[in-house]
Structure 1
């Protein structure tokens, strides 16, 4: 019976990005059944994140697992520094250098730890652990969140070591099928979408009270988007959709890195969109309040990039469902793995007019909105972090038994 796990992630913890929330929540759930150690690199931090003294408290998890920070050759400056903007052209090179370094060092660190299972979100860690296989007998599992490589060479190189590890966890069925198409057996793959802690979205958090506390006008029809402001997330399409709605409608964009916030504000200003508020990054504990303050929640992902169209499992999607507010989302294969016409208003992606019409319909048709909200909340209960962790632990146990 498995007793211990090393969870390895090449991630800045804490971070403004959603993967930090996912990593910490999963470690907390694994720690209910196993002895867990989270291994992350030492990285430069932004000014806001430097203020976080208690990482476990920041992510609202118990101190049931240890966080180990190991050295990696980190030459990438913090996201909010001036240097970060100056060296944008060489950022990809610095990223690869840091990734290779962390993968190698985390692998050797793993060899020193008396654990049975290594569970990693980092490809290079899995690569080096495969190459170091003669030196250890640990079971290695990889959790994939990135897009599947678009070239034959890239796909072949990525799948080569992953064929030889013990299992792969993917967040969408399309991602699983992509790995199967390269010869990785279906029994080696587990599809496990992201999850949610429904208890963090209390039903008694009224819209009126949330707006008063956040300073949001009580008489506006409020649209809310939470998360990063990358173009593949569809944020610019939502901003353009707001231009097609009158000033009775007001959209709040909550999230983003300093660089992305600045660029998004410039886009909104240049486009002369008056009914958009860029709230900026907010701590995770504030998100339920913003969602409660809204009339409708929007997931406007683009169809132009494969990661959005096929491979993403957005945390905000599950948060929206738990918040008990009508959802308007892009009609994409990745989104349809969770949502349907019974749980959300689905609209043509990359079309500001269709998105604006969907928003109006979701707000004006109260009877339909109530039905969709009830169905979505019932459905989201199937996607708790606890159930996801149990599913993964069972998968690991099965694969260990099969391999003997």
Structure 2
């Protein structure tokens, strides 16, 4: 696809590798691997823990070269909503204008992608009011559904919608005029991990003995995350197992440790935030049980499919999670162990079941790994290229 240029407008500063940023970077990497010219554009946000720009490729585990363009915004983590909106609109409008003149003379097919509806307003306005000169296509990556004016306008004017899951697609159809041919499902793809190691080697790398019964969670850490509180409650009920949590800034980890000390929860470990996102894989591979226990208090469970679930499936280790509408495209009783939501007691019972019934655990894990092979970024990139060519 040498005649294709994909411009991805990320609403996040990629100098801090977290879930949504990792997704945008890995999708860009996969599309670059298919021969498309990729330019990922992002706003600069000052954060104390920013990685260096020269370390982007290694920290995200990228395999292919593509361009990243930092916009000269003056944003901070605590910048107000309106300050962020105004600066990003100015920055993306200016960049869209540059792309407009470039596109006229390039002879390539330009396609804009973004998970942020507001970021797509500038390229959509160019397309709407200068249709004879502006031939590019716009694809909205819809991870959730918001029934507001801006969201509906972007949906109705985009050429395609990259919906997270089927429930998201069906909800979008109820609020916007988007026919079936304009949809493609994302389904939270994962990289093809070519350098995975054995569980024993993974444990050697992270300093965990083979004899430990290890439960691992690699999601967002914080006392404001109900999922984390539920898992800590389960840990209090399962003193014989070690519960390991990745991620979290130093201040957050300190607060969570204090919380555990006050409640006499001693069978927990915390890694803190890792700049190199590829290191998280060792913790997933080292697990006896992997936990994703997200809740309606933290997420829109009708639409939100946590990226970590498919990461978990690809390890060959058993996964425990609630059964929510957003996960039903992929998850079923043959590849994960479902437990009742919002119940630390049921979560603890499920973890114990997988620890003790190793035949069941192995059967679920083997099927999960097999199912995850169809959900790689590489296979999704092929579908995206085909989808774009038909727009």
Structure 2 counterpart of 1:76: 76
Structure 2 counterpart of 1:25: 26
SS of 1:311 mapped into structure 2: coil
Cα pair 2:112 2:123 within 8 Å, conserved: no
Instruction: Report deviation, 1:63.
Output: 4.3
SS of 1:7 mapped into structure 2: strand
> What is the CA–CA distance in structure 1 between the aligned matches of 2:87 and 2:214, rounded to whole Å?
41
CA 1:260 to 1:168, structure 2 compared with 1: closer, same or farther past 3 Å?
farther
Given the alignment of the two structures, is residue 178 of structure 1 paired with residue 178 of structure 2, yes or no? Answer: no
- Mean Cα displacement is larger for which, 292-301 or 188-197? 188-197
Given the alignment of the two structures, is residue 148 of structure 1 paired with residue 148 of structure 2, yes or no? Answer: no
CA 1:158 to 1:170, structure 2 compared with 1: closer, same or farther past 3 Å?
same
Structure 2 counterpart of 1:132: 126
Given the alignment of the two structures, is residue 5 of structure 1 paired with residue 2 of structure 2, yes or no? Answer: no
**Aligned match of 1:245 in 216, 238, 244?**
238
CA 1:197 to 1:37, structure 2 compared with 1: closer, same or farther past 3 Å?
same
> What is the CA–CA distance in structure 2 between the aligned matches of 1:208 and 1:64, rounded to whole Å?
33
CA 1:173 to 1:201, structure 2 compared with 1: closer, same or farther past 3 Å?
farther
> What is the CA–CA distance in structure 2 between the aligned matches of 1:335 and 1:211, rounded to whole Å?
29
Structure 2 counterpart of 1:297: 290
CA 1:363 to 1:56, structure 2 compared with 1: closer, same or farther past 3 Å?
same
Instruction: Report deviation, 1:305.
Output: 4.8
Instruction: Report deviation, 1:303.
Output: 2.8
> What is the CA–CA distance in structure 1 between the aligned matches of 2:98 and 2:262, rounded to whole Å?
50
> What is the CA–CA distance in structure 2 between the aligned matches of 1:94 and 1:361, rounded to whole Å?
50
Structure 2 counterpart of 1:61: 62
CA deviations on 1:345-379 (whole Å, 9 max, x unpaired) are: 11111110000000000111011011101100110
Q: What CA RMSD, in Å, does the superposition of the two structures yield over aligned residues?
A: 2.2
Structure 1 counterpart of 2:188: 194
Given the alignment of the two structures, is residue 360 of structure 1 paired with residue 357 of structure 2, yes or no? Answer: no
Given the alignment of the two structures, is residue 372 of structure 1 paired with residue 364 of structure 2, yes or no? Answer: yes
Structure 1 counterpart of 2:160: 167
- Mean Cα displacement is larger for which, 334-343 or 381-390? 334-343
Structure 2 counterpart of 1:398: 390
What are the ranges of 5 or more consecutive residues in structure 2 without an aligned counterpart? none
Q: Scaled by the length of structure 2, what TM-score is found?
A: 0.89
Instruction: Report deviation, 1:200.
Output: 4.2
Instruction: Report deviation, 1:259.
Output: 5.0
CA 1:101 to 1:76, structure 2 compared with 1: closer, same or farther past 3 Å?
farther
The correspondence of residues 250-261 of structure 1 with structure 2, limited to 5 A, is: 250-258=242-250, 260-261=252-253
Structure 2 counterpart of 1:108: 97
CA 1:63 to 1:366, structure 2 compared with 1: closer, same or farther past 3 Å?
closer
Structure 2 counterpart of 1:314: 306
Structure 2 counterpart of 1:43: 45
Structure 2 counterpart of 1:87: none
**Aligned match of 1:341 in 322, 326, 333?**
333
Structure 2 counterpart of 1:234: 227
Cα pair 2:113 2:140 within 8 Å, conserved: yes
Cα pair 1:127 1:161 within 8 Å, conserved: yes
